[in-house]
A and B are shown apart, each in its own frame.
Chain A
Amino acid sequence: MIPFNILVAVCVAYAAFLFAVAFVAERRAEAGQLGWLRSPLIYTLSLSVYCTAWTFYGAVGYAARSGLEFVTIYIGPTLVFVGWWWLLRKLVRIGRTQRITSIADLISSRYGKSNFLAAIVTILAVVGTTPYIALQLQSVTLSFSVFALEDLRPWVPSDLNATAIWVAAGLALFTVLFGTRNLDANERHHGVVTAIAVEALVKLLALLAVGVFVVWGVAGGMGQVADRIAESPLAETTFQGGRWAGITFLSAAAIITLPRMFQVLVVENADERHLATASWAFPLYLFLMSLFVVPIAVVGLQTQPEGANPDLFVLTIPLSMGAEGVATLSFLGGFSAATSMVIVASIALSTMVSNHIVMPLWLYVQGRGATVSGDVRRVVLMSRRLSIAAVMTLGYLYFRLTGGTEALAAIGLIAFTGVAQVLPALVGGIFWRGATKRGAVAGLLTGFFLWGYTLFLPSFGPGGVMSPELLQHGPWGIEWLRPHALLGVAGLDPLIHAVFWSLTLNTVAFLAVSLSGFPSPLERLQGAQFVNVFEHSTGVQGWLRGAAEAEDLLVMSQRILGSEKAQTMFHTAASGQGKAGYLPDTTPGFLEQLERELAGSVGAATSHAMVGQIVGRSSVSVEDLMAVADETAQMMEHSIQLEAKSEEISRTARQLREANEKLTEISVQKDAFLSQVSHELRTPMTSIRAFSEILKSDTPLAAEDRARYSQIIHDEAIRLTRLLDDLLDLSVLENGEVQLNTQTGDLQDLLSRAITAATASDGPNLRVARDGTTDPVVLTTDTDRLSQVFINLIANARKYCTAETPRLTIRVRQNKGSVEVDFVDNGDGIPKRSQSIIFEKFSRLGDRNAAGGAGLGLAICREIMANLGGDIAYVPGQGGAAFRVRLPLDVAKAA
């Protein structure tokens, strides 16, 4: 038997060791030698505050009573860490960018920096956590009592419950020393975290040591243990699907919403990447913690006397076997589990209580002058220290008032259910921009109330808080309001019943109220920041440049952040704006940065109010902000409309400019055309007038002259007529008003007749040769128009071919879909530079007198072919002038 005084000495030595660890870590951190303090393993180990004394001792008891169900407590967190680590990453990122100090601060910040909401969450957290702290104190007391049972020396306190007060005081001291060294609650508590990590190792080693001792030292190996398990009542416990699912869900929710878990997971997180390690290492830790639970429970049930508390098997088995070393280690493990939970929980709770209850009250009491009178820094620190003491006192009182009752033993899952009420508002807040403050308040209050009514208050037992009649028959005898059978849903396990009703109605209220209203501008802005935290990390546009005086802000900031830190921040901001000294312009950006800095110390809502007091000479009301944000939204709306209008106008202007350019071009073309027509008409007219005047005059003329002059007049009149005909023809063809007279004919016949027509009149001799296919090619088209093209081409060859013996080859070629007719003469051809203009109007080349036409022939040919669905082109490199007429056969046949 270990003498009680030695146990106390070990305990004190261990505590001193933890103080030393925390002190060294804190010193190293201050010196900037973070090194292993920033290791992901330290982070992972600190997460083990999840495993409290309730888990350390209680898991074995749980297994002894309910078989394997205890693993659900480990499965929930494992699922979150393995499957939902992106959710944790989002939380951590939001915590970093918004400088979140607690889960209450997160909810408050998300829903428009509402202090009311923060206070609700804080109260919920205090109510849920206080019994849990009491439970830790009880476990320490119980473990002491196990050792003290047989030691009856006079100095051993008769009432062991008194040890609890010493433990509580020690823990309070530790927490105050290492938990409130820095005012900035958002800064890492390196000392605390390192001590917690050491305790995590002790917990794990102790439980593993007991396990190894039980399996190999008592039972005689794994095989024996397996046999014992098969014989034990544990093998007969039934699997209850509802409870398994419910508790797995609860523990998954708890890992996110428990204030102490949020503290180590988000607030103390130094690097997002640590989550990657934790995502496998923490489940591994949980697995090791649960490894020997069943063997210890089974062996305990078989070796310990009837009626022994299975919750203490971890201690009593080694003690009864005389393994004092293992027992002491086990005691330290349990002690570690209890203390680490209490320390972290009280840090988290004190931050919330101080920031969301004490500070707002203090600011309210102090009124306007708060920011410029008194040392805020000291007030905040004092408020936080007092909060720690208060939380610890609450825990102790709760323990003294309910010690040993059922309420305390079952408190673990009850606390989980309580804090899980934050889940809808939390998850909704970071994934859904439509979530509103009203919705969050409605959901939280609904869930909180139902949790209290169906689970927490009844847990004190009949006659505790609720009368037996109320539990049996409901308030005022209304059966469907019975705490354990709401709306007549009876027969469920009370825990599952409470989880179902509280979380379902909580979520329904949250969703319904959120959907029925519209988030205020500040909520919308914060919502966007939270939901899209990975897209942007800039601040909220909450402050307008006002009459804020940098000096006042500096004075206030020094009181909260400390002189050095505040001056550094102001100096950096000033030099960032290109100014010397410590007073930067109070730009909105700077105010937001400052507000975030201050939020790290006093929470978002308080910080917002404090900056507001200086910037606006009074606190900026939410209504002001709403007006500002709404105006901004309206201006953006207008600006978008203006942009659209301006876009439209410039588009119209562009269209007008294009149309104008086109008109100008058409006008130029028209002028050129008119000028050319005028020229072509005036020339023959000139001859006609001149010669008719000559004929009219008295001058005697020789008969042959008279005849010749008459002939000239006649020819020029013909030329005029032909020109007018061509112009009209072209105009009709160009406007697409031509009436096609479709007939069926053989291409070969058409060509033969065209040759005859074109070579009939007097003029140069032209030999025409036929080439290519001589088979009939049946066409259905306007054969007269096609003939006109052929005649024109043959006549041109006759007129312009410069060869000594002009020869024209006409070649017919039928392709798959079209027929081609080439007209190639043996002259010089058309110079390359002119080839591109020959189809233009009045583009007669060379000596126009040789042609006798106005230069409209090829333009007409081109228009005819276009009207017939084919085309005509000059083919270079054929020796002489070469034209190719192409007519698609399908069109030709269909036309």
Chain B
Amino acid sequence: MGRNVLLIEDEPNIIEAIRFILSRDGWDVRTHSDGTTAMDKVQQFAPDVVILDVMLPGRSGFDILREIRATGPLAALPVLMLTAKGQTRDREMAESLGVTQFMTKPFSNEDVLSAVRDMAEA
């Protein structure tokens, strides 16, 4: 089981926080902050877990998730969706698209870490 995480997020401070949390636990964290090219990075890095923001410059996280699930080899890729849009509608949307875990910002560091661990082990 690999320990590669791809974090797709555009808020620098949040990137730094998550990188710190996961690195401390021994994960290899790569980041990307642009929606349009996010899919290329997923293909390129073939991460074990993807953490995905919803509001990204260029392309929405929901769109990216939909494409991940539609791409054969990635259909089972664990995806943790983090969003500042905290409405029930967004959670339902994410679940209908086949998200693995869904979390609203602000999150507890502990929760993010355990979610990533769970997903990687599952």
Chain A interface (Cβ < 8 Å from any Cβ of B): 675, 678-680, 682-683, 685-691, 693-694, 697, 699, 712, 716, 846-849
Residues of A close to B20: CB separation below 8 A: 694
The reply to whether A849 and B14 form a contact with Cβ atoms under 8 Å apart is no
The reply to whether A694 and B17 form a contact with Cβ atoms under 8 Å apart is yes
The reply to whether B85 and A847 form a contact with Cβ atoms under 8 Å apart is no
In order of increasing CB-CB distance, the 5 nearest A-B pairs are A690-B17, A682-B84, A687-B13, A686-B105, A686-B106
The reply to whether A689 and B107 form a contact with Cβ atoms under 8 Å apart is yes
Of A680, A682, A691, A847, which contacts B86 at CB under 8 A? Answer: A682
Of A683, A689, A697, A846, which contacts B11 at CB under 8 A? Answer: A683
Question: Complex Cα distance A399/B38, Å?
Answer: 128
Q: How many residues of B contact A (CB 8 A)?
A: 24
The reply to whether B86 and A678 form a contact with Cβ atoms under 8 Å apart is yes
Question: Complex Cα distance A846/B10, Å?
Answer: 12
The reply to whether A691 and B84 form a contact with Cβ atoms under 8 Å apart is no
B114 at the interface (CB under 8 A from A): no
Nearest CB of chain A from residue B109's CB, rounded to whole Å: 5
Chain B, range 1-29, C-beta contacts under 8 Å to A: 10-14, 16-18, 20-21, 24
The reply to whether B105 and A685 form a contact with Cβ atoms under 8 Å apart is yes
Residues of A close to B110: CB separation below 8 A: 693
A849-B10, A849-B11 known; A690-B106 Cβ under 8 A? yes
Q: List 15 A-B contacts (CB under 8 A).
A: A675-B85, A679-B85, A682-B105, A683-B105, A686-B11, A686-B14, A688-B106, A690-B13, A690-B106, A691-B17, A693-B110, A694-B20, A694-B21, A712-B16, A846-B57
Of A686, A690, A697, which contacts B84 at CB under 8 A? Answer: A686
The reply to whether B11 and A690 form a contact with Cβ atoms under 8 Å apart is no
12 further contact pairs, Cβ within 8 A, besides A686-B107, A847-B10, A849-B10: A675-B85, A675-B87, A678-B84, A682-B84, A685-B106, A686-B14, A686-B17, A687-B11, A687-B14, A693-B108, A694-B109, A712-B16
B104 at the interface (CB under 8 A from A): yes
Residues of A close to B115: CB separation below 8 A: none
Closest to A684 in B: B13
The reply to whether B84 and A679 form a contact with Cβ atoms under 8 Å apart is yes
Nearest CB of chain A from residue B104's CB, rounded to whole Å: 7
Nearest CB of chain A from residue B106's CB, rounded to whole Å: 4
The reply to whether A683 and B107 form a contact with Cβ atoms under 8 Å apart is no
The reply to whether A682 and B106 form a contact with Cβ atoms under 8 Å apart is yes
The reply to whether B21 and A690 form a contact with Cβ atoms under 8 Å apart is yes
Nearest CB of chain B from residue A697's CB, rounded to whole Å: 8
Nearest CB of chain B from residue A714's CB, rounded to whole Å: 12
Question: Complex Cα distance A694/B55, Å?
Answer: 25
Question: Complex Cα distance A693/B84, Å?
Answer: 18
Nearest CB of chain A from residue B86's CB, rounded to whole Å: 6
A682-B104, A693-B109 known; A687-B17 Cβ under 8 A? yes
Question: Complex Cα distance A691/B17, Å?
Answer: 6
The reply to whether B24 and A699 form a contact with Cβ atoms under 8 Å apart is yes
The reply to whether B57 and A683 form a contact with Cβ atoms under 8 Å apart is no
Residues of B close to A688: CB separation below 8 A: 106
Closest to B12 in A: A849
Residues of A close to B18: CB separation below 8 A: 690
Residues of B close to A683: CB separation below 8 A: 11, 14, 84, 105
Question: Complex Cα distance A689/B13, Å?
Answer: 11
The reply to whether B14 and A690 form a contact with Cβ atoms under 8 Å apart is yes
Residues of B close to A680: CB separation below 8 A: 84
Question: Complex Cα distance A680/B104, Å?
Answer: 13
Nearest CB of chain A from residue B93's CB, rounded to whole Å: 13
